[in-house]
Amino acid sequence: MFSVGTIPASANTGRSAAWTPKQAPRGSGAGAGPETPEVAARSTGPPGGALSDHGDPDEAPTGEWRVRGPAFSFAPHPSSARRAMRLRPLRSLPRVPRPSPLVPTSTQSPFCARASRSPAVPSGLSGAGPGHCAHLSQVAGPVDGGDPDPVVGFLNWCRRVGLELSPKVAVSRQGTVAGYGMVARESVQAGELLFVVPRAALLSQYTCSIGGLLERERGALQSQSGWVPLLLALLHELQAPASRWRPYFALWPELGRLEHPMFWPEEQRRCLLQGTGVPEAVEKDLANIRSEYHSIVLPFMEAHPDLFSLRVRSLELYHQLVALVMAYSFQEPLEEEEDEKEPNSPVMVPAADILNHLANHNANLEYSAG
């Protein structure tokens, strides 16, 4: 189990919760975000910093991850039977108007828990090409009984799967960097637990509904990136009528609108990023993605047509999911002797990936074996 708790050491209420990544997952390539050194360091952000989102999801059995500065710390649950990822405040956040509480109190109706957003189609899976738009509803169908507000559906799902959320924070579109984010509704003290994510709620190659098949075919799914099993899990769960993560998918950003250089026209990349090395890195990434898709992913999906509909057999969608994994996934820290073995597959952590990135509120990650 992962627990996420801890904000900046003396937290003012209200500022949007966001997270600064330690680094992009291995193999992510260009455009995956800034890299923060994996060392203990003093905070460089201004007071009243934001909540941060890109730590490693699976803590080592005897160690802990901590984000210092205007962000959070991640540590194993004190009980060995309930190890968890913790996000604890390092200082306070300013309040935003009328945020949507993560867990409604006994006096709040489900309507009070809604985000300030009119009922709409859940976040879509938009294609990168002109005129192409595959909404999530077309790929996955109605989300979990058809809650008109994705936030309400997500909060109900959290309660069902045992994802514990503090009433002191909220999911809201107000006061956030972009899209949905997490904000403080009231003052949060340093060390206070914000949320706990059970391991069963994580979306990975092991927890998905085809985990057994992916494990049996593990040898055939090996790739340079090490991401193929997770990406296949996402492709399957997106279109599976009974996927348990459908309310979680409803809070995803529109994949076709992800601001990643791999979706820019080649000429624009060369013109705007000349001399940075990014265009060359992106071209290499795109070549690897195409090769991985055509040589491993597509043949696997075609061999299991009952598990992967034609709607998800798309290189375009695969590109978009790779970008999503680059931006929102977490990785388990490896021991030194494991580091030279096969790539470490990332994992999706619901609630933790709602925390947005704030470039001006950097935080350093450190790992210490306990």
Tell me which residue of 100, 121, 122 sits closest to 111, measured CA to CA.
100
pTM of the shown model: 0.63
In tens, the pLDDT along 344-361 reads 779 999 988 887 665 554
How sure is the predictor about 128, in pLDDT bands with cuts at 50, 70 and 90? very low
How sure is the predictor about 247, in pLDDT bands with cuts at 50, 70 and 90? very high
Tell me which residue of 50, 34, 39, 365 sits closest to 194, measured CA to CA.
50
Distance between CA atoms of residues 350 and 87, nearest Å = 13
Chain-centroid distance of CA 295 in Å reads 27
Average pLDDT over residues 248-275: 87
Average pLDDT over residues 54-75: 33
Above 60 in pLDDT, residue 23? no
Distance between CA atoms of residues 85 and 57, nearest Å = 7
Distance between CA atoms of residues 6 and 296, nearest Å = 41
What's the domain range around 133? Answer: 2-369
Chain-centroid distance of CA 204 in Å reads 12
Average pLDDT over residues 3-27: 36
Report which secondary-structure segment, H or E, holds 141.
none
How far the first Cα of the chain sits from its last, in Å, is 18
Number of separate domains in the chain: 1
> Which residue intervals of the chain are DSSP H helices?
136-140, 150-161, 211-216, 228-239, 246-249, 266-272, 278-292, 298-303, 315-328
> Which pLDDT score, from 0 to 100, does residue 210 have?
97
Distance between CA atoms of residues 182 and 28, nearest Å = 25
Other residues' Cβ atoms within 10 Å of the Cβ of residue 17? 32
Q: What is the CATH number of the domain that holds 289?
A: 3.90.1410.10
> Which pLDDT score, from 0 to 100, does residue 63 have?
30
Residue 271 region by backbone torsions, left for phi larger than 0, else alpha for psi between -120 and 50, else beta: alpha
> Which pLDDT score, from 0 to 100, does residue 26 have?
33
CB 7 within 8 A of CB 93: yes
Average pLDDT over residues 58-84: 33
> Which pLDDT score, from 0 to 100, does residue 89 have?
42
User: DSSP letters along 338-360, please?
Assistant: GTTSS----BB-TTGGGSBP-TT
Contacts of 16 (CB under 8 A, 6+ apart): 50, 51, 93, 96, 175, 176, 177, 181, 182, 183, 356, 358
Enter the tokens of residue 283: 């071209």
Describe the strand order of the beta sheet including 164-165 as a list of residue ranges.
2-4, 195-197, 164-165
Q: What is the DSSP letter of 369?
A: E
Phi, psi of 139 (to 5 degrees): -90, -45
For the chain, give the mean pLDDT: 65
CB 21 within 8 A of CB 357: yes
How sure is the predictor about 222, in pLDDT bands with cuts at 50, 70 and 90? very high
